[in-house]
A and B are shown apart, each in its own frame.
Chain A
Amino acid sequence: MGGSYGSTLRYKSVQRLKPIGKHTLLGAGGEISDFQEIVRYLDELILYDNMWDDGNSLGPKEVHNYLNRLMYNRRNKFNPLWNTLVLGGVKNGQKYLGTVNMIGVHYEENHVATGFGNHLARPIFRDEWHEDMTFEEGVKLLEKCMLVLLYRDRSAVNKLQIAKITEEGATISEPYAIKTHWELEAFKNPATGAVGSW
Chain B
Amino acid sequence: MFRNQYDTDVTTWSPAGRLFQVEYAMEAVKQGSAAVGLRSKTHVVLVCVGKANSEFSSHQKKIFKVDDHIGVAIAGLTADGRVLSLHMRSECIHYKFLYDSPLPVGRLVVQLADKAQVCTQRSWTRPYGVGLLVAGLDETGPHLYQNCPSGNYFEYQAFAIGARSQAAKTYLERKFETFPECSRNELIRHGIISVKEALAEGKLNGSNCNVAVVGIGEAFNTLDSKTVQQIIDSLEDRADEPPVDVAPVEGEQGAVQDDTDQAAAPMET
Chain A residues at the B interface, C-beta cutoff of 8 Å = 52, 54-56, 58-59, 61-62, 64-66, 69, 92
Is A56's CB under 8 angstroms from B140's CB?
yes
Show 17 residue pairs from A and B whose CB-CB distance is below 8 angstroms, ordered by the A residue.
Answer: A52-B107, A54-B106, A54-B107, A55-B106, A56-B104, A56-B107, A56-B138, A56-B139, A56-B140, A61-B99, A61-B100, A62-B99, A62-B101, A65-B98, A65-B99, A69-B97, A92-B139
Interface string of B108-141 (1 = CB under 8 A from A): 0010000000000000000000000000001110
Is A66's CB under 8 angstroms from B139's CB?
no
Closest to B140 in A: A55
Please provide the chain B residues from 64 to 116 with a CB less than 8 Å away from any CB of chain A in the complex. 97-101, 104, 106-107, 110
Closest to A57 in B: B139
Is A54's CB under 8 angstroms from B104's CB?
yes
Report the Cα distance A56→B110, complex, angstroms: 14
Q: Which 9 A-B pairs have the closest CB atoms?
A: A62-B99, A65-B100, A56-B104, A55-B140, A62-B101, A54-B106, A65-B99, A66-B98, A69-B98
Q: How far is the CB of B153 from chain A (nearest CB, A)?
A: 12
Report the Cα distance A187→B140, complex, angstroms: 63
Neighbour of A61 across the interface among B101, B110, B140, CB < 8 A = B101
Report the Cα distance A69→B140, complex, angstroms: 26
Report the Cα distance A69→B97, complex, angstroms: 8
Report the Cα distance A54→B153, complex, angstroms: 14
Residues of chain B within 8 A of A58, CB atoms compared? 99, 101
Residues of chain A within 8 A of B110, CB atoms compared? 52
Residues of chain B within 8 A of A56, CB atoms compared? 104, 106-107, 138-140
Report the Cα distance A107→B210, complex, angstroms: 42
Report the Cα distance A58→B101, complex, angstroms: 9
Report the Cα distance A43→B180, complex, angstroms: 38
Report the Cα distance A183→B151, complex, angstroms: 75
Report the Cα distance A92→B107, complex, angstroms: 20
Q: How far is the CB of B260 from chain A (nearest CB, A)?
A: 13
Closest to B97 in A: A69
Residues of chain A within 8 A of B106, CB atoms compared? 52, 54-56
Given contacts A52-B106, A92-B139, 20 further A-B contacts (CB under 8 A): A52-B110, A54-B104, A54-B106, A54-B107, A54-B140, A55-B140, A56-B104, A56-B106, A56-B138, A56-B140, A58-B101, A61-B99, A61-B101, A62-B99, A62-B100, A64-B100, A65-B98, A65-B100, A65-B101, A69-B97
Closest to A64 in B: B100
Residues of chain B within 8 A of A61, CB atoms compared? 99-101
Closest to A55 in B: B140
Report the Cα distance A66→B140, complex, angstroms: 22
Residues of chain A within 8 A of B104, CB atoms compared? 54, 56
Report the Cα distance A59→B106, complex, angstroms: 17
Residues of chain B within 8 A of A64, CB atoms compared? 100
Q: How far is the CB of B208 from chain A (nearest CB, A)?
A: 37
Q: How far is the CB of A32 from chain B (nearest CB, A)?
A: 26
Residues of chain B within 8 A of A69, CB atoms compared? 97-98
Residues of chain B within 8 A of A66, CB atoms compared? 98-99
Q: How far is the CB of B262 from chain A (nearest CB, A)?
A: 19
Report the Cα distance A4→B138, complex, angstroms: 44
Report the Cα distance A52→B98, complex, angstroms: 17
Residues of chain B within 8 A of A92, CB atoms compared? 139
Q: How far is the CB of A72 from chain B (nearest CB, A)?
A: 12
Residues of chain B within 8 A of A52, CB atoms compared? 106-107, 110
Report the Cα distance A55→B97, complex, angstroms: 22
Residues of chain A within 8 A of B140, CB atoms compared? 54-56
Q: How far is the CB of B144 from chain A (nearest CB, A)?
A: 15
Report the Cα distance A69→B100, complex, angstroms: 10
Report the Cα distance A162→B106, complex, angstroms: 37
Q: How far is the CB of B93 from chain A (nearest CB, A)?
A: 14
Report the Cα distance A54→B145, complex, angstroms: 14
Report the Cα distance A65→B95, complex, angstroms: 11
Closest to B103 in A: A56
